[in-house]
């Protein structure tokens, strides 16, 4: 049984999120998703997500290629989460390329290409202009 783990905020859920989760699941038997907490998001981006962490976790849990979801409270706890869920592969989009290589002695790391031309930030800007 091979377990893959990935992390993200997944705010204003969109096709780029679906694509990375769908592709990640193909690398293993089980896909675990760490959903960044509202406070972690504030510390990274200086704003709270549009959707609350409870709503974001519920959306992620409802997807057919996601097997388990948990709340990610700190970027530095990656290794603890990897060990807790017994993951052997960490997958992130390539906007994070190299940033989580420090877990490599314990877990393989793969950065997949992002889906072009869509992001939560761009969607927020488009909606603001309507």
Binding residues for ligand C2G, rule: CB under 6 A, are: 7-11, 16-17, 20, 36, 72, 75, 92-93, 95, 114-115, 118-119
Measured at the CA of 72, the angle between CA 68 and CA 77, to 5 degrees, comes to 115
User: What are the CA-CA distances from residue 63 to residues 7, 13, 95 (Å)?
Assistant: 15, 12, 23
Please report how close the Cβ of residue 52 comes to ligand C2G at its closest, in angstroms.
14
Please report how close the Cβ of residue 29 comes to ligand C2G at its closest, in angstroms.
20
Please report how close the Cβ of residue 115 comes to ligand C2G at its closest, in angstroms.
4
Nearer to ligand C2G by Cβ, of 29 and 94: the residue is: 94
Nearer to ligand C2G by Cβ, of 2 and 121: the residue is: 121
User: What are the CA-CA distances from residue 40 to residues 20, 48, 105, 113 (Å)?
Assistant: 21, 9, 25, 24
Cβ atoms of 35 and 69 within 8 Å: the answer is yes
């Amino acid at each position: 049984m091979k377990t893959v783990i990935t992390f993200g905020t997944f705010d204003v859920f969109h096709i780029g999120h679906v694509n990375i989760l769908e592709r990640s699941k193909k690398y293993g038997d089980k896909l675990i998703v760490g959903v960044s907490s509202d406070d972690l998001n504030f510390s990274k981006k200086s704003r709270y997500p549009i959707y609350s962490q409870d709503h974001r976790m519920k959306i992620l849990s409802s997807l057919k290629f996601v097997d388990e979801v948990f709340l990610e409270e700190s970027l530095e706890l990656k290794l603890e989460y990897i060990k807790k869920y017994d993951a052997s592969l960490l997958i992130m989009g390539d906007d994070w390329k190299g940033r989580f290589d420090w877990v490599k002695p314990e877990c393989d790391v793969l950065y997949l290409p992002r889906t072009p031309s869509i992001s939560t930030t761009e969607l927020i800007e488009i909606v603001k202009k309507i």
